[in-house]
Structure formats: structure tokens, C-alpha cells
Amino acid sequence: MRAFAARLRTAAWLGWQIESNWTDPFLFVIYGLLRPLATAFIIVGMYWAVAGQATRPELFAAFYVANAFHVYVTNLVVGMGWLIVEEREDYETLKYVYTSPIGMFTYLAGRGSVKLALGTVSMLVTLVVGWFALGIRWDWAQVAWLPLAVSIALGIVACVYLGFLVAGAALLLPRVSITINEGLAVALYLLCGVIFPVDLLPHGLREVGLSLPFTYWYEALRRFLLGHGASAQLGSWSDGTLLAALALTTLVFVILSRWGYGAFERRARRLGRLDQGTLF
């Protein structure tokens, strides 16, 4: 365990250096804050444009909270998929990392932890902007803290393992995999009820959305933070049923993602794709 912790810490330290050492700390902080601020103010502009016609402002709060937490999906899915391309083509070091004692899975976990930390900053900035600029507030005394903490933890686990899965696919695919990763993040944005209730999806897509842990994650975050959700179908469920659905789908998702990553990695090694380059 000490060896694993040391390797994980080293990978995280390297990830932080790669993310931050291109400029001085002050400029990096500004850059790190501008992106979530820009996203938040885009949503602010959209809200102001339709505020006069909005009939259910509590739904906007629910969608805003889901948008704030969706940054974890974006950072980990796109980020962990991109770091494979970065190591393989930009630095040409992937084969050395792969054969080093640290192990590829531990290396991805360490690098992903930095993406997770940056995503947390973005999420907090977005919620702060919503609180002060849009009046998206909640009663701190009514927040269900324990279920909320469990929901956040389960959702982050699902995000991390989705990152492992797309990183495994990136081992097998050329540079075009980054487009697939970004497309997957957008697909989850639409399928899992971030911007509109999952109830509005047509049959077929709705069942896909309900099979993913992120759908239950966003609904649980809304319910335990704001006191209400966005989906009429899931709104009829008890808190325990919603948490159980989130836990069960997350467990299945973790198992499938871990198996999928291993299958992708073995196939990439068998086909000699680990050090492929496109000279892009």
C-alpha cells in the first residue's frame, strides 16, 4: 500500500506540473477561473433572456446545479482521454510510462486526480456565481448532508471510471479518439437530464438514460441540495430508492468500465497500438 500511495502521489505531482508549469501561478489561477466563470455567465445570459417567460424558476435552479456538477464528467472524460494522446504523440513517452513499475492504471489514477481537483474548483465557482448572480440558493438547514455526501462520492466514482474507460479506448484508437471523448461528454449532457428532464427523452433514449448512474446522480444532487428534483418519474421515488439506484448503477458501471479498460489495453498491446503516432 505504501508503494501504491507513493506511485499515485508521483503521478499526481507530474500531472500537476504538466497542467500548471506553462505559466506563473498568478496567471494560472486567472486561467483556471476564467473557464468556469465564462460557462456560468453563458448560463446567466440564457436565463436573463427567458426570465420573463419562465413559469417554473425552480427547474432552472435544478438544471444549473446539474450543469455545475457536469464539469466532473467533462474534465475526467475529455481529460483522461486526452492525456493518452498527449503522452503518446506530444511527448512520445507513453511506452515508457506503460513499461515502468508505476503501472498504467495507477498512472491514470494519479493524473486523473488533478483533473478531479480542477473540476472541483470549477464546480464551486459555478455554484458561487449562481448564488450571487442568479439567486440560486438553498436553505442550508434543509440540506440532507449525509445523502448528499454519499451521492457526490458515488457520482465522482462513476466519473473516474468513465475516464478510465475512455482512456482505454484512446490506447486503441488514433488521435481522433479525443473527438469521441468530447462527443461522449455531450451525449451524457443530453441523455442524463442535465439541461432538461429525462422524462422528455423519446422511448429508447429514455431507457438508455435511466441505465446510466449519472441520471440518478444529478437527480440526487438536486433533491438533497435544493429539496426538489427535475424529473417527474424519479420524483415519485423515495430517497432510499433513488440512492439505491445510484449505488447499483454505479457498481455495475465500475465493473464494466474496469473490464472494458482491461480489454482495450490488452487489444492495444496485441495490435501494437501503444506507441502509434499520427504525426499530427
Q: Which three cell numbers stand for residue 25?
A: 501561478
Q: How high is the pLDDT of residue 280?
A: 58
Judge whether 73 and 116 are in contact, CB under 8 Å: no
Average pLDDT over the chain, rounded to whole? Answer: 89
Residue 78's SS3 state is helix
Judge whether 76 and 119 are in contact, CB under 8 Å: yes
Please report where in the chains the cell 506540473 appears, as a residue: 17
Average pLDDT over residues 43-61: 71
Indicate the domain borders of the chain.
2-270
- Dist. CA 58–CA 66, nearest whole Å: 13
Q: Which three cell numbers stand for residue 172?
A: 486503441
pLDDT at 25 over 90: no
Report field, pTM of the whole predicted structure over 0.85: yes
Residue 267 backbone phi and psi in degrees, to 5: -70, -40
Q: How high is the pLDDT of residue 55?
A: 56
Please report where in the chains the cell 441505465 appears, as a residue: 211
Q: Please name which of 190, 195, 244 lies closest in space to residue 216, comparing C-alpha atoms.
A: 244
Q: What is the pLDDT of residues 89-104, one digit of tens each?
A: 888 888 888 888 888 9
- Dist. CA 88–CA 239, nearest whole Å: 45
Return the minimum-mean-pLDDT range out of 79-83, 214-218, 252-256.
79-83
